[in-house]
């Protein structure tokens, strides 16, 4: 479904990510793990053509369902984003305009992809919030982002991202700003999306527990390069890579057991 072939991403001609490779199948969940600044978010932003600050792919190719994304026009990107490929940000509420109500933003998002009335778009937004098991979706649509809890804002972000059942969902630290209980709920919700719609998911996370729980395949990154990669079982139990072992050893233990 998605293939990154020897991708190098540069800012002002200085390589930030080098020789990144990934061959992802439909319905697969892939986690990118590693320390801050290792290039995880840069990779998923490149997939969606959203590199900030003049960043660009200087080598390699990115293909989605056989199409070269790097050759896309702005109009092609507009049609792709939010339909076939969607993104959930670290704090979805922070990505919304704080002066506009959730319903206004949500319906506007739907109307950019569908030629329907505002009333129909509003109803579709409510239906998606209900699907995310959010209580009182009417009240949420009439709320400003700052009036919602972190978990509720994140569910709104997922609801928006899943409106058109994308084939690929990019999640940038979707649980890091949440408490542990809410993290577990969001992770289960994302896995249910994969089960219900066969959506492929790339998750950027610092949390090896999250990666271990939900991933089919894990890529370990360090200093803009792929340090290690493999199935969940390989990374957690078989890998001899020194950096991977250090990451695993950094997970807190309880009673001598590490729960990853």
> Band of the pLDDT at 258, cuts 50, 70, 90?
low
Residue 39 counted as domain residue: yes
Residue 236 counted as domain residue: no
Residue 7 counted as domain residue: no
Please count the structural domains in the chain: 1
List, for residues 53-98, the tens digit of each pLDDT value: 889 999 999 999 999 999 999 999 988 988 899 998 877 767 788 8
Print the domain residue range for 218: 25-51+73-227
The CATH number given to whatever domain includes residue 163 is: 3.40.50.300
Query: If DSSP states are collapsed to H, E and C, what string results for the chain?
Result: CEEEEEEEEEECCEEEEEEEEEEECCCCEEEEECCCCCCHHHHHHHHCCCCCCCCEEEEEEEEECCEEHHHCCHHHHHHHECCCEEEECCCHHHHCCCCCCHHHHHHHHHHHHCCCCHHHHHHHHHHHHHHCCCCCHHHHHCCCHHHCCHHHHHHHHHHHHCCCCCCEEEEECCCCCCCHHHHHHHHHHHHHHHHHHCCEEEEEECCHHHHHHHCCEEEEEECCEEEEEEEHHHHHHHCCCHHHHHHHHCCCEECCEECC
Residue 238 counted as domain residue: no
Q: What is the pLDDT of residue 151?
A: 81
Residue 120 counted as domain residue: yes
Average pLDDT over residues 15-24: 96
Residue 17 counted as domain residue: no
Residue 198 counted as domain residue: yes
């Amino acid at each position: 479904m998605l293939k990154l072939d020897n991708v190098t991403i540069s800012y002002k001609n200085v390589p930030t990510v080098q020789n990144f490779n990934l061959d992802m199948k439909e319905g697969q969940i892939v986690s990118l793990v590693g320390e801050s600044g290792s290039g995880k978010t840069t990779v998923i932003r490149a997939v969606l053509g959203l590199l900030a600050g003049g960043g660009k792919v200087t080598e390699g190719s990115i293909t989605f369902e056989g199409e070269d994304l790097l050759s896309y026009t702005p109009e092609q990107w507009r049609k792709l984003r939010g339909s076939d490929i969607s993104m959930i940000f670290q704090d979805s509420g922070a990505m919304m305009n704080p002066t506009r109500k959730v319903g206004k933003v949500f319906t506007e998002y739907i109307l950019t992809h569908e030629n329907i009335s505002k009333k129909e778009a509003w109803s579709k937004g409510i239906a998606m919030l209900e699907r995310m098991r959010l209580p009182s979706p009417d009240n949420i649509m009439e709320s400003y982002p700052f009036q919602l809890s972190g978990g509720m804002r994140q569910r709104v972000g997922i609801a928006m991202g899943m409106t058109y059942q994308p084939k690929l969902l990019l999640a940038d630290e979707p649980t890091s700003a949440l408490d542990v209980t809410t993290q577990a709920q969001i992770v289960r919700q994302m896995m249910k999306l994969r089960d219900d719609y066969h959506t492929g998911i790339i998750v950027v996370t610092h949390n090896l527990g999250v990666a271990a729980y939900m991933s089919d395949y894990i890529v370990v990154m360090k200093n803009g390069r792929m340090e290690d990669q493999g199935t969940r079982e390989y990374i957690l139990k078989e890998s001899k890579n020194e950096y991977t072992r250090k990451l695993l050893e950094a997970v807190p233990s309880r009673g001598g057991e590490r729960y990853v």
